[in-house]
Structures are given as C-alpha cells and as structure tokens.
Amino acid sequence: MKILVTGGAGFIGSAVVRLAVSRGHEVVNLDALTYAANLENVAGVAESPRYAFEQADIRDRAALDRVFGKHKPDAVMHLAAESHVDRSIDGPGAFIETNVTGTYNLLEAARAFWTGQDRPEGFRFHHISTDEVFGSLGETGQFTEDTPYDPRSPYSASKAASDHLVRAWHETYGLPVVLTNCSNNYGPFHFPEKLVPVVILNALHGREIPVYGDGGNVRDWLYVEDHADALLLCLEKGEVGRSYNIGGENEARNIDLVRTICAHLDEMRPEGAPHDRLIRFVTDRPGHDRRYAIDPTRIRTELGWRPSVTVEEGLKRTVAWYLDNEAWWRPLLDREGVGRRLGTA
C-alpha cells in the first residue's frame, strides 16, 4: 500500500513511518517541519526506495493537491497537528488553523483526489485523534467509542472539531474514513517538552521535576510503537466509518509515573539517586482534566489487538533510550520555548 502520512516527522507519525516502511509499505511523509518535527526521527528509513518526503503545510490546499497528484496514495494517515496542551493554552490560534482548518483542507484534497480516481473502494482516510476529546472522568468509568464529546482545552476542542469534520465527510460525501482515539503515548523520539522526557531530562540535569497540582491526575499510557502497530491494523482492517479507541491498559497517576521513571533512573544512573528528591508540585494547569481511561473492548474483540508492553517495561526502554541518545535530544533543548518548559531558561 502507498500511504500518505501527515506529520511523519513528529513523535507518533515517525513511529508510523518507520513501522510502515519496515513492513513493506510505500510511505510519503508530508510534514511542514514545525518546532515539533525532527527528520532525525526517520533517518533510519530515509534511504529506503519505499520512502519519500514532502515538506508541505496542511493549511496550504494547493500544496496538498500537488502532493496527492504526484504520489497518488492508496491511503492517508493524518497525524499532522499542533499537539501540546500547554501551548494551546498560551496560543490557541495555531491549533485552530492546523487542527481544524488544516484537517478541512486535507479532507477536501483527499476527496478531490479520490473522486478524480473514480472513488476506489479500497481508499482510506485514517484520522488519528486523542481520548482528550471525551473530557474528564471521575474516579470510575472508561471512555468508549460512544462516550459523548466534552473537550475542555483548546487542544482537545480543536481535535474534537477535526473528528467531527472527518465523520461529516464520510456521511456527506462517502469518503471512506476510519478514526482512532488514543491515550497518552510515550517512548523514543518524544519531544523534550512533554511530561515523560521532561522528567528524564530534568532528573539527569539535577533540576527540579515539575508535577502539576497534587500529581493525582490519571492517564492511560501507551508505548508509541504499540500505538503505531494498532494504527496500521486499524487502517488495514478497520471498518469504514467506524472509530476505535486505543489504550495501553495502563492507568497511572502522574506522580506514580514520575516516581517509576525516577526509580529506573536510580538503577541506570545511580550517581544521581535518589532522583525523586527533585520532584516539586507546581500550580496546576488551568482546566486540567482529572482522569482519562480507555475501554479498549472494540479494538480487542473486533481486531484482536492488545498492547505488547506494560508501562513498567515501556518506561524502562524509554529511559534507556534517552540515556543512549543525547545526540538526538541535546540540540532540541535550544528550540523555541523548550528551555522555558524544561526550567532551563
């Protein structure tokens, strides 16, 4: 299959690109290369004859038409997005432009291409989204695919809007879409401003590790390579018009996740131990959702998918990866806004 992956230079998109190429698919990676992108993430496949890169912005419809016309993909996997909740609170405009208008442009470009190709039945538009569209849970319960949307941050509202657009393009124009909503990812190549890398890198530098509020916010955590595996499965076997929740079956309070990372660091870098002495509780994020949890029954029963690693094992691999790959993360610390978030500026 020839897959057009948007956002393939980002964290999850690059995992999808690496896995798809390794499985014999052809991949066209379309990415605007924002602050969050890094072509090093796909360096391992860059020389493959099955890989091509197109620098393009999903806000630019003409550029999208050119890419569709040139590469004639069998499927689209749409991951390009502004993705950081804290940045969406500081500056929501970019989230509306990329996540909402950009998705609209991509849907229209895909629809024009698909229609022009006589609407091939096998064509797929796979939209990758987040469990944050469902809002916040109390102590119990889980999000199913039928949970009503209740987004509460500019980021999740923009993703919810994009999900609705994708469904509407299916219902109205018949575009063959599949949607997935996934919980928090972590793993190699995760941009340094996100929670797991912040903890690892601050701990390594002997700097305070900021934890929002009382640390009691609960998230489900999924290893990024497991997510990429689930995404390819949903693309290939998912039912058209259907959405699938993807979770790691690993609910954890933020503070427990942070302590687990510190414990792995204590083992791998004993000279800095105990790293959890660096934990500091900081003023909570406004509108911070208390708990997310995913009911993965549909993907498990209909597609036979389960995550392959526990959060314990995945975090261990992730910590080891950051220790081994300073040449990857060190240059990123100078990028716009990142030092401030890491407490280095």
Nearer to ligand NAD, 143 or 276 (CB): 143
Active site residue 155: yes
Nearer to ligand NAD, 80 or 203 (CB): 80
CB of 35 to ligand NAD, least distance (A): 8
β-bridge pairing 251-253 and 218-223: antiparallel
CB of 14 to ligand NAD, least distance (A): 7
Nearer to ligand NAD, 28 or 36 (CB): 36
CB of 43 to ligand NAD, least distance (A): 14
Active site residue 54: no
Q: What is the CA radius of gyration of the chain?
A: 19
CA distances from 184 to 32, 111, 206, 247, 252 (A): 23, 30, 26, 8, 11
Active site residue 132: yes
Contacts with ligand NAD by CB under 6 A lie at 6-7, 9-13, 31-34, 36-37, 57-59, 79-83, 98, 102, 128-130, 159, 182, 184-185, 191
Evaluate whether 11 touches 23 at the Cβ level (below 8 Å).
no
> Cα angle at 77 between 71 and 83, to 5 degrees?
125
Nearer to ligand NAD, 130 or 217 (CB): 130
Which residue number places its CB atom closest to ligand NAD? 10
Task: Return the C-alpha torsion angle 68, 227, 341, 327, nearest 10.
Answer: -80
3-state secondary structure of 88: helix
Cα–Cα distance for residue pair 67/28, rounded to 1 Å: 9
Among the listed residues 31, 57, 82, 131, the single catalytic one is: 131
CB of 160 to ligand NAD, least distance (A): 11
Catalytic residue positions?
131-132, 155
